[in-house]
Amino acid sequence: MRSFAYTLCFRAAALLLALVALLSALSLAAGAAVAGASGIPTLSFVYGDKTFAYSERYIAPTDFMVSEDFQKRRLNEPVERKMELIDGLLAGGSEVKDAMLYCFPRLADTVNAARAEVCRAPENAEIRFCPDRRPMFEIKRSSPGYELDETRIYDDAYFALRRGLRRVALSVSVIEPEVTADELSGYTRLRASYTTSYASSTPERKHNIALALGKLNGMTLNAGEKFSFNAAVGKRTAANGFLPAKIILEGKYAEGVGGGVCQASTAVYNCALRAGLKITKVSRHSLVPSYVPPSFDAMVNGSWSDLCFVNDGDGPLFIRTTAGDSGATVEMYSSELPYKIECRSVTLSVGQYPADEEFVDTDGRYTAGMASGEKVRVSGGAAAVSSEGYLVKVYPDGRREEKRIRTDEYAESAGTVAVAP
């Protein structure tokens, strides 16, 4: 009985081994038939000098899916049989791409390889602003992008196999960049400039003006970007390089760190007006300044008063500043306006100058070496002034459009005179 069971097991094992060998032989034969059949497609996808080859290879069932699906998709059958199935799928409403990948799943690998080498995103043109060099603007040209039209590629592959062709031209779409060099060059025009004079100022005051404007030199404001003078210049402190000079404090002239910076902000303000920018915040001085017509000053301090505007154009705005011993200039570059902008100040009334205020210079700060009773002016007075500011658009055909932008009331201030003790 034991011998019979042993013999039975041996025969079963032998039969199993024979079956495995038979299946292996059939599998190899099927693979050889697929690889060597005349109908097996080899497609070359071509783009320019690049070629991406696709060749049918035997697919083992265990590598891909269960046997039932494997047979259903005819993965190792001749191309004619696959195309028959694909035609049936198309007749049933399937998309060409889905039907092709159903029977030629590795075709996606070839398409992906082509995409990796051919496709790229477009690169916009870029502009570099170097205000202290000539030329000031350097423009890097744009380049197009490329994208595969996958729907068209699978359509072309289907028709190529249907017609017995082996070469398919890749369908590639060109993606144009959003920003070109020609577009950027249109934003390099001088839109407005403004020059302010300070020839009679002290060296400390000149230094402060030049320092403040130097922090703005080379700034770029993109479309929609906001400008804050205080944020751009920073705090006016000795640690930041600013020096003591004359300022207006509580309606009087006094000494303070950063004196003169308001003349810098006023120059920027007047240039921004002439550039047609939208002013969102500006403040007048308490007294009429001597370096600009009434209603066109821009007082700033580090706490509550700022000069703000926004680049409300459709492209970048570039700021260039220069400062010398006698004056400073602010320039703004962008696209040209269809008109020229002029500024007009109207003085409505001027009050009487108040009497000077005298004080005895006991510490000799202003009257050292002077005889007793001699006097020297420390600061000038200012009359009260009422004024309005207007912007005037002047068109090439001579038309003029005027708009009032400000109404201001400046206070009076008595001058100060030091008397030698």
Q: What is the pLDDT of residues 234-262, one digit of tens each?
A: 999 999 999 988 887 766 677 788 899 99
Do residues 400 and 394 make contact, with C-beta atoms less than 8 angstroms apart?
A: yes
Instruction: Provide the CA 407 distance to its chain's centre, in angstroms.
Output: 37
Do residues 56 and 42 make contact, with C-beta atoms less than 8 angstroms apart?
A: yes
Residue 255: per-residue pLDDT: 78
Strands (E), 213-339: 220-221, 226-228, 244-249, 252-257, 278-281, 308-310, 317-323, 327-334
The candidate with the shortest Cα–Cα distance to 274, out of 330, 223, 327, is: 330
The candidate with the shortest Cα–Cα distance to 301, out of 271, 257, 336, is: 257
Using DSSP, state whether 420 is helix, strand or coil: coil
How far the first Cα of the chain sits from its last, in Å, is 144
Give pLDDT tens digits for 382-400. 899 999 999 999 999 999 9
Question: Which regions in the chain score pLDDT beneath 70?
Answer: 1-41, 61-67, 250-252
Preceding omega of 244 cis (within 30 degrees of 0): no
Residue 31: per-residue pLDDT: 39
Read off the DSSP letter of residue 281: E
**For the whole prediction, is pTM greater than 0.95?**
no
Residue 61: per-residue pLDDT: 67
Could you give the CA distance from residue 406 to residue 403 in angstroms, rounded to a whole number? Answer: 9
Beta-carbon count within 10 A of 268 CB:
27
Burial state string for 59-72 with b = 16 or more CB within 10 A and e = fewer than 16: beeeeeeeeeebee
Cα dihedral angle (238, 240, 246, 250), rounded to 10 degrees?
Answer: -90
